[in-house]
Structure 1
């Protein structure tokens, strides 16, 4: 039976869902799931990881990310030691610059999604030097979490962001681009995140993912539950909210710098998403009442 645990079971506060443990596993761990995400780094030993009904071997140096509400467990355990980081991504991993890293997109979004289809060949495996660097960061995180000195939440977010950045680099360094489907699509999404204010074509994004336009549309919808165009519009609107706070820019300039060539089209899209015009949003922000559209 799948045992379900929650962040409350760990005694965590709703506004800071984070826990880190370094522990040995001496026996099988039954299949379970939880309402938080989990980053696992295997330090030593070996076992068989069971995830969503599939099994694959794990050993020292392997890193994998598990989304919330995904069932998994361990069997055939042989002196395994690992670090388990349990967290809420929206609270801990906040820097938008991470989305520009193909390795981040691949490791934390696409590899978990394509895990079965790729037969677990997209997993991150660190070499000895990489594992030592990652372990050092994990030890620092663990020390901050245990001591809980002044500003420990800030330090945890900072060190964890550094850890995610390092793992993202390692993923690209250690993966064969042409053979790794998750990384190919991640490269295309990272390009989109970096250039969403510029003209983009479906063909360009599909080419970067080494897919046909039809395949890219299907894969994009599976991962983001929307179309590439709707995704780009949402990113442009989010960006425009930040620009609207600068009163030196006209609404036309905001529209153009956000990637909209037509101010009327921009205004219609803005109202559909936020329920007000760009000018009204600017006035609300000026009064300190930016509403839902102001929180990103």
Structure 2
């Protein structure tokens, strides 16, 4: 059976808020499909089924959590009173500049690396919630579902706050799960990336990052560039620049441009200005003035 494309517009007509949540109950087969322009977070609430992801088969049950990226074909059959929650979203919904999700290794592996690898490889790992974790997650999605289908003011802000809580909690749970089964390659790479996020002011060589990941330099560079679409050095520069932008936008912090450069990991004010201008088309001082005029 050929896999059919699915688009987020099939579920929601809101182009500004790319998000949808629903509960599903199945006692039959589900057609094979892939997502053309969105990710899906699927949480199994009860029942069982045989799920196929690309050409890999899994028997799913209560507490299993999957993140399906774009282009990943999946379906299920032999569903026995299967209750699930589906959350459809575009990854940009997670990428608020001020979030610190990137500091959690489980976030990188569960929401970025594994969904990417599963496009061309076996879906290697997914999250299996413990009993107490399952209760926490079901309460969060209950609140999200209620908020999504209500018409209260501030609905979108509340949903994004709850979604961030859910993603953060799942990422932590995944990290705990993988710590009990050390040695998984994608998780080792996730650990090195989260280390960069937490210590973006420091310098990292490819050799150091590869050693942290227990892979060769060549393998680390190839997988990093495939998943993040950039080099480790450029990734580190982006983290520093985003931190600098936050400081520049808060003119009441009393920091000079030189202070901001140093606090963001740049040892030279002139180098900071060159890199910033190349990235944003204006100097740090021009950026600060531009933001203060808003």
Q: Report the TM-score when normalising by structure 2.
A: 0.88
1:160-180 Cα deviation digits (max 9, x unpaired): 222112211211222235232
How does 1:142-153 map onto structure 2 within 5 Å?
Answer: 142-153=145-156
Matches within 5 A, 1:37-186: 37-91=39-93, 94=96, 96-115=99-118, 119-175=122-178, 176-186=180-190
Contact 1:31 1:73 in 2 (8 A): yes
CA contact (8 A) 1:115 1:122 kept: no
Is the 1:40–1:84 Cα contact (8 Å) retained in structure 2?
yes
Q: CA deviation at 1:112?
A: 2.0
Classify the secondary structure of the residue corresponding to 1:48.
strand
* Residue of structure 1 aligned with 2:288, choices 282, 285, 294: 282
- Asked if structure 2 preserves the Cα contact closer than 8 Å seen for 1:2 and 1:31, the reply is yes
Distance 1:172 1:235 in 2: 22
Which runs of 5 or more structure 2 residues have no equivalent in the other structure?
none
Contact 1:52 1:72 in 2 (8 A): yes
Give 1:292's aligned residue. Answer: none
Cα pair 2:107 2:171 within 8 Å, conserved: yes
Give the equivalent residue in structure 2 for 1:222.
226
**Number of residue equivalences:** 288
Q: Matched residue of 2:282: which SS?
A: coil
Structure 1 CA distance for aligned equivalents of residues 104 and 137 of structure 2: 18
Superposed displacement of residue 158, structure 1: 1.7
* 2:34 and 2:70 in contact (8 A); partners too: yes
SS at match of 1:27: coil
1:7 counterpart residue number: 8
Q: Which of 255, 265, 278 lines up with 1:272 in the alignment?
A: 278
Query: What's the offset of the Cα at 1:116?
Result: 7.6
For the Cα contact (< 8 Å) 2:133–2:173, is it kept in 1?
A: yes
Q: Distance in 1 between matches of 2:270 and 2:94?
A: 37
Pairing partner for 2:258 from 222, 228, 252: 252
* TM-score where L is the length of structure 1: 0.88
Rounded to whole Å, the distance in 1 between the matches of 2:101 and 2:269 is 30
Mean Cα deviation higher: 85-94 or 137-146: 85-94
**Displacement of 1:53:** 4.0
Tell me, in whole angstroms, the C-alpha distance in 2 between the residues paired with 1:222 and 1:79. 39
| RMSD of aligned Cα (Å) | 2.2
Deviation at 1:100, TM superposition (A): 1.0
Following TM superposition, by how much is the alpha carbon of 1:281 offset from its aligned partner in structure 2, in angstroms?
A: 1.9
Aligned twin of 1:204: 208
Q: Distance in 2 between matches of 1:108 and 1:218?
A: 19
SS at match of 2:241: helix
1:189 & 1:282 partners in 2: Cα distance?
29
SS of structure 2 residue aligned to 1:122: coil
Question: 5+ residue gaps in structure 1?
Answer: 289-296
Residue aligned with 1:11, SS? coil
